[in-house]
Amino acid sequence: MSGKRKTSALVFTLAVFAYTLASAILLVHSEQLNGHRFIYPLDDSYIHLSIARNMALHGSFGINAGEYAAATSAPLWTLMLSAVLRIAGIRETSALAMSFCSGLLLLLVCFLLLRRLEAGMTVQILAYGLIVFATPMPLLGLSGMEHLLHAAVVILIVFGAGSVLASEAPPLIGIAPLLALIAAGVLVRFETLFVAAIFAGFLLLGKRWLISFLVAMAAAIPVLLTGAISVSHGWFWMPASILIKSQKAPVTGLSTLLQAGRSRRKCLIRNSAPANSVSRHEFALALSHLARVQDRIRDRLDAGNFTVYFFVPPSIRRNWLADAIRSISGGAGYSGHRGRSE
C-alpha cells in the first residue's frame, strides 16, 4: 500500500472513530436523562417502526395492522427496516442500528470518492470534519431515520452527475447505474427529486435531451408507482408527510416550527378522507388537539434549540402521547388511522 493510500485509510479510520465515539457519548447521555432507556428524538422513527412491524408481521403497509396508510415519504427505508425486523425479530433498536450503520456507509462513500479524487490529507481532514460534526452525523445516526443513507446516495448521484456533465457523450448503457441510483434515492427519500431536477436542468441547458428525459423518468417512475399503489388502496397520491409540507411557512426556530404546524394541518383537513379512515370530523378534532400538544412542547423547550428535544424526560413524552391518544380514541384506546413521517 502506497503512502498516500495509508494516509487516506488512517484519516478514514479516525473519522469512523470520531463518529462512533460521539454517537456513544450522546447515546449514554440520552439514556441517563431518560431513565436508562433509549428514546428516539422524533416520533417519525416510531412511525417507521410501526409500519415496518406491520409489514413484517402482517404484510400490511400502514400504522395499524391490515390497514394501508402512506405515512412515510421514505418507503424504501421502511421496507428495509421491515426486512430487518423480519429477520432479527421485533426490536425497537433495529432502526437505531440501521441509521448508525448508514453513517458508516456515508463515511465509506466519502473515503472511496476522496481516494479516487486523490485528495490531499488537509482536504480529507477538513471534509471528514465537516461531514461528521457539521451534518451532524452523531445525532442523525441515533435518529433511527433514513437521513444518513439518503446523504450517501445523494453524494453518489452528484458525483455521477458531475461525471456525465463533464463527458462529451457518455454511452446510454454507461448511465444505467446512475439512473437506477436516482430511482432508489427517490424511494429512500422523496427529496431526491430536487437533486434529479437540478441534474436534468443542467442536461437541458447542454441540449442533451435524451439523457435529461431519462433522468426525469428515473425520478418520476418511483413516485408514480407508489402513488398508484396508494390510490388503489384508497389513499392520496402523495404520502401524508408530503401533504403536511405542502403549505409554506417561515421557520426561524423551534417555536415557529411548531406554530407552522397549525397552518399545515389545514391542508389535510381540506382533503377528503379515504373510505377506510376515520371521519373528517374525527380527524379534524385530532389535529386540533395536536395544536395544544404542540403548545405544551413549545412551553418546555427553548425556541431555536431543537436538539433539546432529544433529552426530554420520558415522563413528559408519555403525557403528551397519552393526551393525543385520548383525543383520537375518546379514551377507549388507540384507533387512529393516519401517521406522519418526514
pLDDT range class, residue 325, cuts 50, 70, 90: very low
The CB density around residue 22, as the number of other CB atoms within 10 Å, is: 18
**pLDDT at 68 (0 to 100):** 87
pLDDT of residue 127: 95
Taking only the tens place, the pLDDT of each residue in 68-90 is: 888 888 999 999 999 999 999 99
Cα–Cα dist 59/54, whole Å = 6
37-46, 171-180, 284-293, 294-303: lowest mean pLDDT where? 294-303
Confidence (pLDDT) at 323: 52
- Residue 273: the pLDDT is 42
Among 7-21, 83-97, 236-250, 264-278, name the one with the lowest average pLDDT. 264-278
Q: Which of 252, 186, 254, 176 is nearest to 220 (CA)?
A: 186
Residue burial 202-237, b: 16+ Cβ < 10 Å; e: rest: ebeeeebeebbebbbebbeebbeebbeebeebebbe
Q: Supply the pLDDT for residue 239.
A: 84
Please report which confidence band the pLDDT of residue 1 belongs to, taking 50, 70 and 90 as the band edges.
low
Q: Are 113 and 151 in contact (CB under 8 A)?
A: no
Q: Kindly state the helix (H) or strand (E) to which residue 114 belongs, with its residue range.
A: helix 94-116
Helix crossing, 314-329 with 280-300: angle to 10°? Answer: 160
- Averaged pLDDT for residues 262-289: 44
**CA dihedral sign of residues 324, 327, 330, 336:** negative
Q: For the chain, what is the radius of gyration of the CA atoms?
A: 22
Mean pLDDT calculated for residue range 295-299: 47
User: In the predicted model, what is the mean pLDDT of the chain?
Assistant: 78
Residue 113's closest CA among 198, 3, 8?
A: 8
Question: Looking at the predicted structure, is the pLDDT value of residue 133 above 50?
Answer: yes
| pLDDT value, residue 268 | 38
> Is 50:341 a contact under the CB 8 Å cutoff?
no
* Average pLDDT of the residues in 50-63: 90
* pLDDT for residue 254: 42
Give the pLDDT band (50/70/90) at residue 246. low
The C-alpha angle 46, 52, 56, rounded to 5 degrees, equals 140
* pLDDT tens track for 218-233: 999 999 999 999 999 8
pLDDT at site 339: 41
- Residue with grid cell 388502496, as numbered in its chain: 233
Rounded average pLDDT over 255-261: 44
Mean pLDDT on 150-174 = 90
Q: Residue 97 pLDDT more than 70?
A: yes
For residue 208, the model assigns a pLDDT of: 92
* Residue 94: pLDDT over 50: yes
| Alpha carbon separation from 38 to 27, 62, 93, 217 (Å, rounded) | 7, 24, 8, 41
If 0-12 CB within 10 Å is exposed, 13-18 middle and 19+ buried, where does residue 152 land?
A: buried
Per-residue pLDDT at 171: 76
- Look up the pTM and report it: 0.72
Nearest to 147 by CA among 200, 105, 88: 105
What mean pLDDT comes out for the span 46-56? 91
Give the pLDDT score at 331.
Answer: 43
H-type alpha helices, 189-313: 192-205, 209-232, 240-244, 254-270, 280-300
Identify which has the larger pLDDT, 104 or 308. 104
Residues 107/19, Cβ–Cβ less than 8 Å: yes
Per-residue pLDDT at 334 = 32
User: If pLDDT is split at 50, 70 and 90, which confidence band does 342 have?
Assistant: very low
Weakest-pLDDT range from 43-57, 107-121, 327-341: 327-341
Please name the residues in contact with 124: beta carbons below 8 A apart, sequence gap of 6 or more. 7, 8, 11, 12, 114
Task: Classify residue 201 by its DSSP letter.
Answer: H
Helices (H), 130-191: 137-141, 147-166, 176-188
